[in-house]
């Protein structure tokens, strides 16, 4: 019988497959290609140095047993690393590395791996020079479910997050995309899911990273010609959390590499959690194939908290800090800071600071001063309700008429202007804008915005409407 590299390796794979988990086999052995068989030395091709190191770290004994069965006790294994050429030529770089299992195979003929150069940094979160496969999660334990209070504005997102944390990769919420405006708790919820997964499944690898840091790591990997290492590192993650995914906008190389990582994780039952300041339908300069994957799971919106939720948030913050405050003060803060949880907590922290540093009692008057300064110094977000009121007043109609189904030209134009300004001045999704302005869908809002742009160029009177109203919101 003719013994070839293919036949030897296929027999080895048969043995290996029976001795490890199917998932591990798929990730670490299916990508390997047999290259040649010379005497008792089998050369196999692996996609990166990181891949080779992982095999040596975790599967060298298994490889030794499999190879010895096929080629006898003098069996040797040589790795051929095929790396991408950074100049984009088709000719790959290769480097031959004998197996490091010197005691188990042939001690005379095998040397320490990569004797000529130091291995590149594999894990982008490890300090250079320290060899470490352990992946730190980068999670903040202070951001947990216990202090992420539930309300009507976040119930869907929080419930989906809990479901994902209980069964990562095992729900239909994969990916889970959490979106909403500034300061509404997207990052907090993303961390909370990760913290809960680590708590329930300590053996799982969880990683939180901002889209900007992910992009920077990718750029560094391209410069160092370690793109494959970068990809393989991220393919190890069981639950990957990427914050502010809208920052991938316009970065085609990073989107491309994330597309491949996403596919691998999703196909292998790993969990992906994303946050964004807008819904997938509103994301600009993100490739369609990536957007379609964002829509595979669940997109859950975090909205501005209602009054009851704002009161609960304030009381919870005070309780955690061990501070007591009169109900009327909590009520005043909750009624006056409406759009942003970060601002809400900031105001109460300012009050506590004023009280403790200046030895002042927290009075309603002090609360009014702090809230007034806070609101004045913070760019106030324009709400969709406020926009509808301003537009309706300008055209001398009531809000119910603006939202009605009538096709009268001046009412349609007023409604389209309200949608246009809602898209321009709020962080709400197109679907959310449509539902609040007369229960329309996101396509109607898109059409309205295009119509406003076209009319502003061709209709002098309409352009005046646009300019007059714009002044009211700036």
pLDDT in tens, 52-90: 777 877 888 888 888 888 888 888 888 887 654 333 333
Residue 356 pLDDT grade (very low, low, confident, very high; cuts 50, 70, 90): low
CB under 8 Å to 54, separation ≥6 — which residues?
A: 28, 133, 232
Residue 100 pLDDT grade (very low, low, confident, very high; cuts 50, 70, 90): very low
pLDDT in tens, 1-31: 467 889 999 999 999 988 888 877 888 888 8
Residue 127 pLDDT grade (very low, low, confident, very high; cuts 50, 70, 90): very low
pLDDT in tens, 379-420: 555 788 889 999 999 999 999 999 999 999 999 999 999 999
Superfamily of domain 155-302: P-loop containing nucleotide triphosphate hydrolases (3.40.50.300)
CA distance 387 to 300: 24
Q: Where are the beta strands (DSSP E) in 257-340?
A: 271-276, 298-302
Look at residues 267, 134, 112 and name the one whose alpha carbon lies nearest to residue 207.
134
Q: Is the pLDDT of residue 197 over 90?
A: yes
Residue 388 backbone class (left: φ over 0; alpha: ψ -120 to 50; beta: rest)? alpha
Query: Which of 36-45, 53-62, 92-101, 104-113 has the lowest average pLDDT?
Result: 104-113
Predicted pLDDT of residue 408: 92
Q: What angle do CA 174, 180, 182 make, to 5 degrees?
A: 135
Predicted pLDDT of residue 56: 78
pLDDT in tens, 227-275: 888 888 888 889 999 998 988 888 888 898 999 899 889 888 899 999 9
Q: At what angle do helices 341-357 and 327-336 cross, to 10 degrees?
A: 140
Q: Is the pLDDT of residue 453 over 90?
A: yes
Predicted pLDDT of residue 130: 35
Residue 115 pLDDT grade (very low, low, confident, very high; cuts 50, 70, 90): very low
Are 64 and 205 in contact by the 8 Å Cβ rule? The answer is no
Tell me which of 393 and 323 has the higher pLDDT. 393
CA distance 141 to 148: 12
Residue 360 pLDDT grade (very low, low, confident, very high; cuts 50, 70, 90): low
**What pTM did the predictor assign?**
0.55
Tell me the mean pLDDT in the region 200-222. 89
Domain 5-98 - what CATH class? alpha beta
> Of the spans 93-97, 298-302, 412-416, 436-440, which averages the highest pLDDT?
412-416
Domain span(s) for CATH 3.40.50.300 in the chain: 155-302
* Chain mean pLDDT for the chain: 79
Predicted pLDDT of residue 374: 63
Query: Which of 95-109, 320-334, 364-378 has the lowest average pLDDT?
Result: 95-109
Measured CA to CA in angstroms, residue 239 lies from 212, 228, 347, 382 at distances of 18, 20, 34, 36
Domain over 307-377 is classified CATH 3.40.50.450:
no
Q: Assign 3-state DSSP to the chain and report helix, strand, coil percentages, each to 5.
A: 50, 10, 35
Measure CA of the first residue to CA of the last residue in the chain; give whole Å. 83
Residue 357 pLDDT grade (very low, low, confident, very high; cuts 50, 70, 90): low
pLDDT in tens, 409-452: 999 999 999 999 999 888 788 888 998 998 899 889 999 999 99
Tell me the mean pLDDT in the region 103-129. 34
Tell me the mean pLDDT in the region 85-104. 40
Domain formed by 384-473, architecture: Orthogonal Bundle (1.10)
Predicted pLDDT of residue 189: 92
Residue 380 backbone class (left: φ over 0; alpha: ψ -120 to 50; beta: rest)? beta
Query: Which of 124-128, 164-168, 285-289 has the lowest average pLDDT?
Result: 124-128
Look at residues 382, 369, 453 and name the one whose alpha carbon lies nearest to residue 416.
453
Query: Which of 286-290, 354-358, 385-389, 402-406 has the lowest average pLDDT?
Result: 354-358
Domain span(s) for CATH 1.10.1750.10 in the chain: 384-473
Q: Is the pLDDT of residue 467 over 80?
A: yes
């Amino acid at each position: 019988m003719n013994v070839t590299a293919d036949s030897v390796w296929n027999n080895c794979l048969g043995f290996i497959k029976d001795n490890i988990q199917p998932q591990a086999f798929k990730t670490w052995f299916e990508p390997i290609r047999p290259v040649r068989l010379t005497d008792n030395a089998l050369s196999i091709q692996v996609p990166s140095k990181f891949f080779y190191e992982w095999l040596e770290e975790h599967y060298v004994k298994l490889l030794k047993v499999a190879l010895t069965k096929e080629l006898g006790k003098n069996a040797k294994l040589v790795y051929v690393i095929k790396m991408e050429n950074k100049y984009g030529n088709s000719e790959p770089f290769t480097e031959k590395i004998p197996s490091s299992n010197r005691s188990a195979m042939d001690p005379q003929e095998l040397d320490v791996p990569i004797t000529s150069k130091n291995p590149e940094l594999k894990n982008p979160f490890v300090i250079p020079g320290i060899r470490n496969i352990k992946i730190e999660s980068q999670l903040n334990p202070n951001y947990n479910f216990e202090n992420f209070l539930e309300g009507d504005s976040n119930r869907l997102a929080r419930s989906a997050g809990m479901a994902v944390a209980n069964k990562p990769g095992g729900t239909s919420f994969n990916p889970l995309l959490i979106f909403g405006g500034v300061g509404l708790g997207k990052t907090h919820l993303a961390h909370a899911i990760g913290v809960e997964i680590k708590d329930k499944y300590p053996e799982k690898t969880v990683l939180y990273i901002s889209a900007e840091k992910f992009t920077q790591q990718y750029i560094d990997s391209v410069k160092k010609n370690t793109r494959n290492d970068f990809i393989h590192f991220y393919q190890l993650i069981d639950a990957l959390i990427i914050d502010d995914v809208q920052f991938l906008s316009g970065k085609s190389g990073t989107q491309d590499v994330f597309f491949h990582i996403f596919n691998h994780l999703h196909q292998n039952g790993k969990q992906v959690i994303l946050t964004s300041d807008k819904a997938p339908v509103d994301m600009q300069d993100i490739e369609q194939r990536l957007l379609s994957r964002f829509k595979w799971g669940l997109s859950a919106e975090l909205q501005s908290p209602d009054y009851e939720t704002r009161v609960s948030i304030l009381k919870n913050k005070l309780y955690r800090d061990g501070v007591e405050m009169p109900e009327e003060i909590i009520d005043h803060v909750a009624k006056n800071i409406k759009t942003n949880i970060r601002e809400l907590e900031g105001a109460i922290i300012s009050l506590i600071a004023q009280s403790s540093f200046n030895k002042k009692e927290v009075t309603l008057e002090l609360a009014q001063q702090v809230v007034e300064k806070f609101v004045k110094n913070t760019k106030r977000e324009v709400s969709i309700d406020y926009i509808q009121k301003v537009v309706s007043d300008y055209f001398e109609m009531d809000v119910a008429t603006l939202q009605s189904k009538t096709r009268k030209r001046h009412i349609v134009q007023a409604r389209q202007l309200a949608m246009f300004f809602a898209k321009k001045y709020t962080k709400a999704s197109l679907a959310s804008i449509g539902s609040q302005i007369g229960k329309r869908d996101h396509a109607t809002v898109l059409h309205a915005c295009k119509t406003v742009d076209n009319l502003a160029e061709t209709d002098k009177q309409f352009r005046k409407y646009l300019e007059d109203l714009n002044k009211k919101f700036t």
